[in-house]
Structure 1
């Protein structure tokens, strides 16, 4: 038993000494490999910055420039990693890893279908000129400014300053409303006036109020006005006009200013904007004779 323990101790000692000698022998290579990795890391940052500046002169999409610079940085760092492994005499191990990666690539691809689809969708979105950083969009139930298009998520900053990260795949598969593609937007305001109102006067006052409120409306004829229906308590209409704007906030602001202008114009001319009401009318009058007979019967 003692001999077996001594033999095991000797084998363990020889193994540890061998590892220690190998480490000491390869310390210079290890230091050089670490230096190579650090150098290639800084080279990747410097080169990607230069590539980004050069590409931005030809391509005006920030999202596409970001994707290109990230790919360049990854390629440079991967080259540094391969060189470092070669310095450490791990080229055979590297070849084994590459072979294993080819075999396991299919399995990993099946397991990461969602991630890969988002990655390819992010590349496609980066090449789209219709969606760029800074645009105000509405999609998947969210509306806000596009602040980032990465290889995974489409990031939107809402009006309340909250960031919403939407998978790139969902952006490609669902409609996107982009307010920033045009410099003009149409404002639509609905309202109603009392049945006693002079409808021609209401139309003229509304168009005049809108034209005075918004500098973009050059003349009253540019304001569209349509009566829509005889409502329960009012005659309802809509008015439409164009303003300069490319964000959802511009639309809300335009509607608010239009409502204020219309209300002031109607108040000045004593035009009533009724709120929904319900009138209860009792036309049946009970005869006194019936009441007297009923009282006599009770007596």
Structure 2
């Protein structure tokens, strides 16, 4: 019977303690509600300030997230201090001890991606809408969060990459500059008058309205190919105003038209005869004699 009385006393003490703590819990709840309202207002204020500063959208999202996180941390600490009088922030940090180290190892990737996301947003390069190549993924940057980056490939697939992978590895940004240079190789027959071929290619480039004519266009006789002498043709495109693939199509059309008009041949690649291992030598000799 003593055990039953002891248990009853413990339950009564817990109930009395809970009733006594109700005012503190109510105040803590009010503090959390106020924290939510303050965080919401602080985000709106930050949005107005960053809107006037004309900064990037992903950086605006970073500022809003950090402000919201700071407000909630302060509000939670105040609410815990009110609800639990013995609680202090210093005591909580001291009490973590080895547990903080274990948590750090367990969430190492999350913290790493978080820090990488912050650094990616703070630097000027790789903005939303940029065409990038990284780790075999090519597409448009659609979204940057504190943990991951969304890249929409040109075939329509969405690739979600951890920020640490993008931060640690090389990233090629095709649209970093408004104007970008493109090039193709154009082969002409060996009996072609090369200055005439170069002039025809230059006429073709100048006739294409979609290339950037404020930049130079080039056509260099580059090398002796297997069946042609190859010209290295270069031009610039305004990536903000023109479709890169359509411009290249127009350039190819124009070069073919001008070479045809000048009577310059674009030869087929020279194909060497390859011997098949499964054909007996006698049969090959017989076929050559017959020919």
The verdict on how the C-alpha distance between 1:14 and 1:223 changes in structure 2, with shifts beyond 3 A counting, is same
Q: Which runs of 5+ in 2 are unaligned?
A: 274-291
* Equivalence for 1:235: 229
User: Matched residues in 2 for 1:169 and 1:257: separation?
Assistant: 40
Contact 1:187 1:254 in 2 (8 A): no
Deviations 1:124-176 (A, max 9, x none): 22221123233322222222222333332233222233332333333333222
Q: 1:232 to 1:89 in 2, by over 3 A?
A: closer
> Which residue is equivalent to 2:94?
99
Correspondent of 1:60 among 55, 79, 98: 55
Choose 72-81 or 256-265, whichever is displaced more.
Answer: 256-265
Structure 1 unaligned blocks of 5 or more: 1-5, 281-299
Q: Which residue number corresponds to residue 189 of structure 2?
A: 194
Q: Counterpart of 2:116?
A: 121
Correspondence for 1:257: 250
* Aligned CA distance change for structure 1 residues 143 and 246 (closer, same or farther; 3 Å): farther
Q: Which residue of the partner structure matches residue 280 of structure 2?
A: none
Aligned to 2:12: 17
Contact 2:212–2:238, Cα closer than 8 Å, also in 1:
no
Question: Normalized against structure 1, the TM-score is what?
Answer: 0.77
Q: CA deviation at 1:89?
A: 3.0
Cα RMSD (Å) of the superposition? 3.0
- 2:140 aligned to 131, 136, 145, which one? 145
Change (3 A) 1:278 1:87: closer
Q: CA deviation at 1:72?
A: 0.9
Most deviating of 95-104 and 127-136: 95-104
Change (3 A) 1:222 1:82: closer
Shift of 1:215: 4.3
Match of 2:206 in 1: 211
Rounded to whole Å, the distance in 2 between the matches of 1:132 and 1:22 is: 55
Q: Describe the SS at the equivalent of 2:132.
A: strand
Q: Deviations over 1:240-261 (max 9, x none)?
A: 11121159x9443332321222
- Conservation of the 8 A alpha-carbon contact between 2:139 and 2:152: yes
The reply to whether residue 43 of structure 1 matches residue 35 of structure 2 is no
CA change 1:77–1:50 in 2 (3 A) is same
Partner residue, 2:80: 85
The 3 A distance-change label for structure 1 pair 12 and 95 is farther
Partner Cα separation in structure 2 for residue 116 and residue 89 of structure 1: 29
State the number of aligned residues: 273
Q: Which has more radius of gyration? A: 1
Which stretch has the larger CA shift, 187-196 or 109-118?
Answer: 109-118
Counterpart contact for 1:211–1:217, Cα < 8 Å = no
Distance in 1 of aligned mates of 2:271 and 2:140: 44
- Contact 1:210 1:217 (8 Å CA) reproduced: no
Give TM-score, length-normalised by structure 2: 0.79
- 1:122–1:149 contact (8 Å) kept in structure 2: yes
Relative to 1, partners in 2 of residues 1:107 and 1:59: Cα closer, same or farther, differing over 3 Å? farther
